[in-house]
Amino acid sequence: MNVMQKVLVNNVIPGSIISRDVYSKDGIILVSRGVAFREHFVKHFNEAGVKEIFVEENGQMTKDTMNHIRKSLHINDIVHEKTISQAQTQIKKTMIKISAAGSVNIARIGKLVEEIIDQLLEKQEFVFALSQLRSVDDYTYRHSVNVGVLSLVIGIDMSLDRDALRNLGIGAILHDIGKAVVPEDILKKPSSLTKEEFAEIKKHTDYGYEILKRTDVAEEAAQIALNHHEKYDGTGYQKGLKGTNIPLFSRIVAIADAYDAMSNDRVYQKKLSPDKVFKEITHLGDKHFDCEIMEKFARHLSIYPTGTGVILNTNHRGIVLRQNKLYPESPVVRVFRDERKDIRNLYVDIDLSITKHLYIANTF
């Protein structure tokens, strides 16, 4: 026997099965039980004075169901996972070598940057979920690679030539290279840093520049290590540079660095959901970042990336299936219906851009 629940008409998920006949105030039957609820029913019922109806009760979305739905989605990597893994491994080797010998050979890094550029240039468009740069346990090294990829996305949007992209990519991937000589107990401290410890952390920009100056990287690439913590309003470090006095590449990397940091768990801070990262980083605008570069970057962000778990205003849970370019806040969502039913009826796909009474209230 199916369990019923009374639901406000405006909160019924399209596709839900109506479990009792629906009558108007005049006793005229509007819809018979067993019919699947459709979007246009909302207006029809409201005009007839029907505020609530009975539908078959939805089950709870389990982890197994979540995993099943996610596996059914096709999420393209913006850069091949093999290339990302190779770059991460190379960054780790490079930083270990620096901490031991104080020198670095960036030839292999340069080759990997070329591969990343080629793979990005193969894409037909750059509207994708940047969170597809999947986080891993070893944050420091993956963060460096992520920042390199994100910076190159911006550089390509800005129509930088091939040489400039290569220098940008190398500098971006090596932007935190100076952390190789910062004491590990400070880098991995889970609690608040003392004034002295924070002063030491800030020195990684100087350390990084000094290290890269001993290599054959271009000066504009080395400058990224030095200036990626400068802020557009002049409140950054080390020099307190302001506006366009901050080198272009450093302004690009500052945005990519902040976005990836907010999007991943760190020792001292949990990651934010994609929509909160989007709001936070765009809110900072020309306070911390170059507004023109920020606008270019924001065009490539998915507020709710494919695969994100979302909670609708009706408390139904679902997973983002694909994006609506013109309405990024209203993607197509695959909503779980009733796990007790046949797998073919497990979920319904809802385009929130054309479903007026449904919207995303939260993520999970």
Which of 282, 298, 314 is a domain's end point?
A: 298
User: Is the same domain home to 80 and 36?
Assistant: no
User: Is the same domain home to 232 and 289?
Assistant: yes
Task: Kindly give the confidence (pLDDT) of every residue in the chain, 364 residues in length, as a single tens digit, with 9 standing for 90 and above.
Answer: 455 677 788 878 777 788 888 988 777 889 988 888 887 888 888 888 888 888 876 544 455 555 655 655 655 567 887 888 888 888 888 888 886 665 667 889 999 999 999 999 887 565 544 544 544 446 678 899 999 999 999 999 999 999 999 999 999 999 999 999 999 899 888 888 999 999 999 999 999 999 999 998 999 999 999 999 999 999 999 999 999 999 999 999 999 999 999 988 777 778 888 888 888 998 887 799 999 999 999 888 888 888 888 889 988 888 888 888 888 899 999 887 655 444 455 678 899 998 878 999 988 8
User: Is the same domain home to 180 and 253?
Assistant: yes
CA distances from 21 to 29, 34, 39, 43, 162 (A): 7, 8, 17, 17, 66
Cα 65-134-175 angle, rounded to 5 deg: 165
CA distances from 328 to 150, 276, 303, 320 (A): 19, 14, 6, 11
User: Is the same domain home to 190 and 327?
Assistant: no
Which of 256, 275, 298 is a domain's end point?
A: 298
User: What is the Cα–Cα distance from 43 to 63, expressed in whole angstroms?
Assistant: 35
User: What is the Cα–Cα distance from 244 to 222, expressed in whole angstroms?
Assistant: 18
Amino acid symbol at 178: G
Structure token digits, residue 281: 């980083």
User: What is the Cα–Cα distance from 172 to 242, expressed in whole angstroms?
Assistant: 20
Structure token digits, residue 345: 């009826």
User: What is the Cα–Cα distance from 206 to 44, expressed in whole angstroms?
Assistant: 67
User: What is the Cα–Cα distance from 60 to 337, expressed in whole angstroms?
Assistant: 9
User: Is the same domain home to 328 and 203?
Assistant: no
Please, are residues 347 and 318 in contact by the beta-carbon 8 Å criterion?
A: yes
User: What is the Cα–Cα distance from 212 to 103, expressed in whole angstroms?
Assistant: 9
Element (H, E) at 350: strand 347-351
pLDDT the model gives residue 132: 47
User: Is the same domain home to 315 and 292?
Assistant: no
User: Is the same domain home to 106 and 213?
Assistant: yes
Structure token digits, residue 118: 């080629």
Phi-psi category of residue 49: left, alpha or beta, with phi > 0 → left and psi -120 to 50 → alpha: left
Please, are residues 278 and 254 in contact by the beta-carbon 8 Å criterion?
A: no
Please, are residues 220 and 167 in contact by the beta-carbon 8 Å criterion?
A: yes
Q: Which of helix, strand or coil describes residue 240?
A: coil
Model's pTM, two decimal places? 0.76
CATH number at residue 45: 3.90.105.10
CA distances from 120 to 76, 165, 171, 251 (A): 12, 11, 17, 21
- How large is the C-alpha radius of gyration of the chain? 25
User: Is the same domain home to 47 and 176?
Assistant: no
User: Is the same domain home to 18 and 152?
Assistant: no
User: Is the same domain home to 279 and 315?
Assistant: no
User: What is the Cα–Cα distance from 15 to 115, expressed in whole angstroms?
Assistant: 45
Element (H, E) at 309: strand 309-312
User: Is the same domain home to 317 and 196?
Assistant: no
* Structural domain harbouring 29: 4-56
User: Is the same domain home to 189 and 325?
Assistant: no
27 CB-near residues (< 8 Å, 6+ apart): none
Q: How many domains does the chain have?
A: 3
User: What is the Cα–Cα distance from 331 to 158, expressed in whole angstroms?
Assistant: 27
User: What is the Cα–Cα distance from 167 to 188, expressed in whole angstroms?
Assistant: 29
Quick one: DSSP state of residue 131? Answer: G
pLDDT the model gives residue 76: 57
CATH number at residue 278: 1.10.3210.10
Taken in order 7, 12, 13, 14, the sign of the CA dihedral is: positive
Please, are residues 108 and 91 in contact by the beta-carbon 8 Å criterion?
A: no
